[in-house]
Amino acid sequence: MTTARLAVLGLVASTALVASCTTDNPAAPNALAQGSPVAASAPAQVDNFMLVDQDFEAHELYRLADARLIAIVSHATGDAEVKRLAPALTALRDRYAAQGVEVLLINSNLKDGREAIAAEGLELPVLMDVHQLVGEQLGVTRSAELLLVDPKTWTVTYRGAAADADAAVAAVLAGQAPRRPGPARGSPSPSPNAPARRSSRRSPTPRTSPRSSRPTAWPATPRAASAPLRCRTTTWSRASPR
């Protein structure tokens, strides 16, 4: 009886120890690594994320659930198309703010630091995707690309050129389908300084709850073979046999 009790305690201890291990790998996967462009198709549903902008203000996507529409535009420092469209995007935000439209820029380029982004003096928040995970999720491949997200379903309802943002937003707010989108005119988004090449294998489809169509959990990113593990050590006391 004592042997059986000790065996159960040992099994529980080993299970708890394995579950408490976390990856201690400082190098995050690069969504836009050189030679590994991000898939061009938009996801069926956008997962939540939180990023900091050039003014150190945090923005969480799902906290914008009360918005009517969220416009996300890919950004790159020094890009001529982004500079040309910046005043129009700011005016778009101001014009439709009362109707619940949010306009965000996102920068997923490794070479663009916060100082360089802030130096451009944009009035719109530029979310710094330093690990490029959000850019990968959204399928961003170049700058000046527009994605319209519906906060009711968290799905991408429109993808096209940021130059067509005004017409696309107006159509969606009017309950109409935007006209066929044109290609984004911004520069491609490579990562020449990426330390490693990301595998082109796509992640498996997230699990879905039987009562809802929303994903309940996204698969964990595969851990590098050389990544050390940091485990919480748990001390187990052996019960004295009776």
Q: What is the torsional sign of CA 110, 116, 117, 118?
A: positive
Please state the domain count of the chain. Answer: 1
pLDDT score for 178: 85
- Listed in sequence order, the residues at least 6 apart from 14 whose beta carbon sits closer than 8 Å to its beta carbon are none
Distance CA 30, CA 35 (A): 11
Q: What 3 state SS string does 156-197 have?
A: EEEEEEHHHHHHHHHHHHCCCCCCCCCCCCCCECCCCCCCCC
The better pLDDT of the pair 188, 204 is held by 188
Pairing of strands 126-128, 58-60: unpaired
Distances from the Cα of 117 to the Cα of 9, 38, 49, 146, 224, angstroms? 55, 22, 20, 19, 31
- 104 inside domain: yes
Q: What is the mean pLDDT of the chain?
A: 73
- Strand (E) or helix (H) holding 74: strand 69-75
Residue 103 placed within a domain: yes
CA distance 159 to 38: 15
237 lies in some domain: no
pTM score: 0.60
210 assigned to some structural domain: no
User: What pLDDT score was predicted for residue 155?
Assistant: 95
For residue 93, pLDDT over 60 is answered with: yes
Domain of residue 54, CATH code: 3.40.30.10
pLDDT in tens, 32-43: 333 233 333 455
pLDDT of 112-147, one tens digit each? 999 999 999 999 999 999 999 999 999 999 999 999
- Identify the H or E element spanning 88: helix 80-96
d(CA 49, CA 82): 23
The confidence score (pLDDT) of residue 44 equals 72
Q: Which of 5-9, 163-167, 229-233 has the highest mean pLDDT?
A: 163-167
- 158 within 8 A of 178, measured Cβ to Cβ: yes
Position 242 in a domain? no
Looking at residue 42, the DSSP 8-state letter turns out to be: P
Q: How far is CA 98 from CA 67, 93, 102, in A?
A: 10, 9, 10
Answer whether residue 107 is part of any domain.
Answer: yes
Residue 123 lies in domain: 50-189
